[in-house]
Structure 1
Amino acid sequence: MASNKPRILQGTRDMMWSLVALLVLCMLIAAIASQCEFKPGGPTAGPAPTFDIDAGLDYDAKELGFPIRHPEVPEDWQPNSGSRSIISGAEGGDSSTVGFITPGGRYVRFTQSDAGEDELVRFVAGGPRTATDVRAIDGRDWVVYGGEDVEAIWVSDFGDVRILIGGSGDQEEFTLLAAAAGRAEPLQS
């Protein structure tokens, strides 16, 4: 009959050897699956995803019931995302969002919607926000929803559509995008 140590006699040394064996087994499986790598210098930023903004906004212009604008941003702004959402609420509606990565590595969101301003801000911010400022850019007022430790949101009412600018961009980038939105003509639907 084999003589096994009673459980009470197993010590930390036995436990450590078991953990070492388990750790080696986990690393072997991860290496075989190619799901991990060792980088002594830390992580590096990979390429930002790309998005065909022309096709995305053209499609939204044909499908959504409000005017869609294509703002002309600097060439070094990279479109990296696009989405459509339905905003609920008393003044809810559809929305079209495209995102850009600026040369400074910041994300700037450009959302167009036929929803009311309060519902649009609540949808993007994840809750209610209070207006903190108003900026006049190229003859158009932009209501600023800011605060401590929150990303700024700028909204302007274009009559049949509300345009929202948000993200981690700075004031200069928001101003540039707001001016581009004011100059943009609605796309053909």
Structure 2
Amino acid sequence: MSSGPDPSSTPRESTEPADRSGGSRRPEIGPRPLRKPGRGETSVRDMVGALLILVPIALLLFSVGSSCSFAPGGPVEDAESGPTVNVAERLAEYDRGSAFPIRVPDVPFRANSTDRGPVEGGGTAVRVGYITPDADYLSLVQTDGSTEGVLATESGAAGRGEGPPLNRGTTTAAGLTWEVYQAEGGEPYRIATLPGDPEVRVLITGSASEEQFGTLARAVVDAPPVAAGS
């Protein structure tokens, strides 16, 4: 009795495709396909990038802020800092085209600005800004305009749609009577008419003390007027 073929001796077909060399093909090794990063990975990466940008900016702002100080009453200026102008030269230039004589006061203050411009209602204003040794300031205005006109111009109330500073009475300095105008919480505007012809008014305002106002008032009154147009 013959038996069937031995299964162990029967050749089996390979399930793996053969390569050209006759052996079975191994899995190919190469670059993997690109994978879109997960939401969690993207969020962390963006956060790190943002921190790398924001940290240097924050450090810069902190260093700048720590070197500044807040002055609620306005900037405090060193009495020796800022520009200095030659008042005599500037006022001599303005005087050449002036319709009224201009005075050059001799004061122990540093002049840091001069200006000339029109006055509301007619006339011209010649201005000098001073810094006192206490780092306060005074503004001197000489004009042939009216009291109302120079007050409106220098206070700037009309441009802001406000009424003019209120009359607070009078004060005496350098032998003259000065009308005092002041808005609530503002600086006083003192106005006087100088003796002589043509009529010239002087306005003094600023943050300086009454004593320093008196010093400037006396210097203006004592200064000889320069002939208009000279």
Structure 2 Cα separation of the partners of residues 5 and 107 of structure 1? 66
What code does the residue aligned with 1:110 have?
Answer: L
Tell whether 2:150 aligns with 1:111. Answer: no
- Consecutive unaligned residues of structure 1, counting only runs of 5 or more, are 31-36
1:66-102: CA deviations, max 9, x gaps? 110111112xx1111111111232xx21111011100
Please tell me the root mean square deviation across aligned C-alpha atoms, in Å. Answer: 3.1
CA deviations over 1:26-79 (Å, ceiling 9, x no partner) = 989x9xxxxxx75856469571211111111111111211110111112xx111
1:63, 1:15 → 2: CA distance?
A: 68
Show the counterpart of 1:81: 113
Measure how far apart 1:5 and its partner are.
Answer: 6.2
SS at match of 1:123: helix
Counterpart of 2:114 in structure 1: which amino acid?
Answer: G
- SS of the aligned residue for 1:18 comes to helix
Distance 2:47 2:117 in 1: 53
- For 1:151, which of 170, 173, 187 is the aligned residue? 187
The residue aligned with 1:51 is 85
CA contact (8 A) 1:84 1:96 kept: yes
Verify: 1:185 aligned to 2:224, yes or no: yes
Of residues 179-188 and 38-47 in structure 1, the stretch that sits farther from structure 2 once superposed is 38-47
Distance 1:70 1:152 in 2: 22
Distance change (3 Å), C-alpha of 1:141 and 1:16:
farther
Q: TM-score if structure 2 supplies the norm length?
A: 0.66
Check conservation: 2:102, 2:225, Cα contact below 8 A: yes
- Among all aligned residue pairs of Structure 1 and Structure 2, give the percentage whose two residues are the same amino acid: 30
* CA contact 1:99–1:107 (8 Å) conserved in 2: yes
User: 2: CA distance between counterparts of 1:2 and 1:111?
Assistant: 78
Report the CA distance between 1:183 and its aligned residue. 1.1
- For residues 1-189 of structure 1, the aligned pairs below 5 Å read 3=36, 10=43, 14-15=46-47, 17-18=49-50, 20-22=52-54, 24=56, 38=64, 40=66, 42=68, 45=78, 47-74=81-108, 77-89=109-121, 92-127=122-157, 128-158=164-194, 160-188=199-227, 189=230
| Structure with greater Cα Rg | 2
Gaps of 5+ in 2: 1-33, 70-76, 158-163
CA distance in 1, matches of 2:188, 2:221: 19
- Normalized against structure 1, the TM-score is what? 0.78
How far has the Cα of 1:137 moved from its partner?
A: 2.0
Q: How many residues align?
A: 176
Partner SS for 2:180: strand
